[in-house]
Structure 1
Amino acid sequence: MAWRSWRNYYKDVAPFTVLVAMEFIIAGLNTLFKAATLTGMSYHVFMVYDYAFAALLLLPAPFFSYRSSVLPPLGFPVLRKIGLLALIGISCQITGYTGLIYSSPTLSSVMANLMPAFTFILAIFFRMEELVWSRSSSKAKVMGTIISITGALVVTLYKGPPIFKASKPSMSFHQPLNSFGVDSNWVIGGAFFTAQFTLIPLWFVVLTQIMEEYPAELTVIFFYNFCVCFMALVVALVVERNASAWRTWSDIALASVVCWGIFSSCMNNTVHSWALRLKGPVYVAMFKPFSTVAASALGIIFLGETPHLGSLIGATTISIGFYTVMWGKAKEATLEDSGSGSSNSTTVDPPSSQKVPLLQSYKNRTSVEPVH
């Protein structure tokens, strides 16, 4: 009984808890990064230092994986997929950082609510989700996806009047916060965030396939960080011709590099790898709306952001779409559970038509227990 309780905690409670916590942490990191860029920090150089620091933290991981007798060999096919993952990841980071410079962490978190919809679309394309028009659950998922995209268009194209005037920010910077506060830059920021949150679901799908072949989170993320660091270095050497951009900046910029290296490039990526192996990409993407409230509060308190009506309407619309998709997912899971329960009463083996999660296929091919 104790073992069953621990197993249920590991598979259900633990992923929920850590994913919620990571969304609040990422919202805080976005606020810290926005503050650092206002001091003149180059985000291209920031990426090099960030991923180099994260790779250094995870440097011992490949040694333990190499000595492990339960892991499959780390061959070229897996390394090639990690390289593809790094290419997608650096594209996500560049578009995300550019969006933050043009707009705000609040807009980033609001637009992040698009991820469940985009992940659902990609999951259908990669045959990881089933779409049956005769089922209300499928109709709800499609309708929720359309509503979420509509909300994203609202929050991007309509800023609206301020809801209330924020108080003076608790941090002071050399550059005023609203230097990019015109509507054109808000739209540009929203466009970059749309690109970012279209690429992240693809990142989830590729990482899910990597974890299926090589279920060692720390080692995979080490090679991922190393590849992204190398790619970011090439980009930074081309873009940043001024040598002064490579020097250490203010205290808040240095703190941003360290915090991003520890909590995002290292911890967040490792947590997502582990959760993707257990639950799949759609489950992981559904936690993005938790960051909206945290980012809004941090932006108002620390950056002096003024909340606008467009953000409120768009966030509400996206949330409605998000929970519509999740209702469809929950109803679908209930139908699958009841179907598997009735079939198990007559036979031990599941029917061939029963849907098998993507992350389960590695376990079906080997009897080796997953490595944590």
Structure 2
Amino acid sequence: MAWPILLLPFVGMVAAMTALSGNMVISKMAMSNGASFYIISVYSNALATVVLFPTAFIFHWYKIPPVTFAVLWRILLLALCGCLADIGSYAGINYSSPTLGSELLNLVPGFAYILAIIFRMEKLKLTQSSGMLKFLGTLVLIAGASIATLYKGAAILNKPSSLTSPVYLLASPENWILGGTLLAMAAFLTAAWSVVQTTILKIYPVEMIIVAIYCVIVTIQSLVIALIAEKDLTAWNLQAEMGLVAVLYAGLVNISFRLYLMSWCLRRTGPLFVTMFNPLVIVISAIIGLIFFKDVLYVGSVAGSIVLVIGLYTVVWGKAKENMVKDDIEGSNGHSLGHHKVPLLQDEEA
């Protein structure tokens, strides 16, 4: 029964990573046309708040648990991780490229694995087949992502042109290093976001309410940061058409849709399973570039994608085996309790 249970989270995370890939491409296009990443962050989170806040309370008005202080301070921490990761990601892509942004998402599974072990959400059980599969799957994922990004090989589809070069090659080395540092920071905060969200869902299992409150807080935080950092008041006008497209896409798809999907998956699988899908952004970004921008498809991209799929399958296989063991233990415990229940009652009556 473990595989069917993981099927919907698997599909959900593929959809979530597709949304993230699209946001990287669209936001880079908007920033290249002059849109400020601070302003995009504020407007997109505000739009997500307008959409999610009333929707969440309409759907859950009859069963809204009270938001205690223990829940609220965790959501504040979640919002801080999300806000800094959001702005760090936008800034990193602005200084470098969406390609580097997708490459450094490879760090997320490693960070998440370490944090999950530190906070005892995962156990490093290398002596068990499920633990070994998850560990090896993580390494294979990182290897596949590294192949896709570091090795090109021969072109399979479309021909590379010496006349056109990616925008990010025009960036100075200093900007490239700064962009990489910001993206690495965003990767760590993304992993921390998944861990914090998992702890919240354990005590307050209503995903839509959490994400709605989260968006309100992130909007306020990003607004404060934008007012301090963005000195050009005309940037708030979003004169560039791509800026408006970026805000609409980020608010409706990347935040509202993706964060709800990720929260739903986190409650059912935990942070390790969810963060394992981040390297998939490389594959999806390559497909988007191939279809919409006529990018060149290289042997390295195909080889890396195949290894990525093997790594994902290995992690899911390990998670499925772990769930099967848990089901067996719970079933045997239930059987044991049922076996002893009648004699205990009989002893009391006697």
1:306–1:101 distance in 2 versus 1, CA, 3 Å = farther
CA positional deviation for 1:88: 0.3
CA positional deviation for 1:286: 2.5
1:296 matched residue in structure 2: 286
1:27–1:291: 8 Å Cα contact kept in structure 2? Answer: yes
CA positional deviation for 1:87: 0.4
Of the candidates 234, 238, 241, which is equivalent to residue 248 of structure 1?
Answer: 238
Partner Cα distance (2:298, 2:171) in 1: 12
1:365 matched residue in structure 2: none
Q: Unaligned regions of 5+ residues in structure 1, if any?
A: 350-372
Letter in 2 for 1:46: I
1:280 matched residue in structure 2: 270
Partner deviation per Cα, 1:147-205 (whole Å, 9 max, x = no partner): 6667778888x688995854699xx9xx9824545666555444333222222121111
Partner deviation per Cα, 1:205-259 (whole Å, 9 max, x = no partner): 1111222222222221111111111111111111111111111222221011011
Partner Cα distance (2:253, 2:122) in 1: 31
Superposed, which structure 2 residues align to 1:45-194 within 5 Å? Answer: 45-61=39-55, 63-64=57-58, 67-68=61-62, 70-142=63-135, 145=138, 166=160, 177-178=167-168, 180=170, 185-194=175-184
1:65–1:71: 8 Å Cα contact kept in structure 2? Answer: no
TM-score by length of 1: 0.75
1:191–1:326 distance in 2 versus 1, CA, 3 Å = farther
Partner deviation per Cα, 1:74-113 (whole Å, 9 max, x = no partner): 1222121111111000111122112212333233333323
2:344 matched residue in structure 1: none
1:361 matched residue in structure 2: none
CA positional deviation for 1:22: 2.1
1:367 matched residue in structure 2: none
Bigger CA drift: 293-302 or 84-93?
293-302
Of the candidates 13, 17, 23, which is equivalent to residue 29 of structure 1?
Answer: 23
2:97–2:168: 8 Å Cα contact kept in structure 1? Answer: no
* SS of corresponding position for 1:58: helix
1:297–1:270 distance in 2 versus 1, CA, 3 Å = same
TM-score by length of 2: 0.79
Partner Cα distance (1:103, 1:312) in 2: 24
Partner deviation per Cα, 1:339-366 (whole Å, 9 max, x = no partner): 55565555559xxxxxxxxxxxxxxxxx
1:133–1:22 distance in 2 versus 1, CA, 3 Å = closer
The answer as to 2:7 corresponding to 1:17 is no
The answer as to 2:196 corresponding to 1:200 is no
- Report the RMSD for the aligned CA atoms in angstroms: 3.8
1:370 matched residue in structure 2: none
Partner deviation per Cα, 1:43-68 (whole Å, 9 max, x = no partner): 00111101011101123146448843
1:102–1:189: 8 Å Cα contact kept in structure 2? Answer: yes
Paired residues, number = 336
Of the candidates 189, 211, 225, which is equivalent to residue 235 of structure 1?
Answer: 225
- Point out the structure with the larger helix share: 2
Bigger CA drift: 221-230 or 75-84?
75-84
1:208–1:277: 8 Å Cα contact kept in structure 2? Answer: yes
Letter in 1 for 2:28: K
Letter in 1 for 2:19: I
* SS of corresponding position for 1:197: helix
Partner Cα distance (2:19, 2:238) in 1: 24
1:318–1:125 distance in 2 versus 1, CA, 3 Å = farther
Partner Cα distance (1:203, 1:77) in 2: 17
Letter in 2 for 1:259: Y
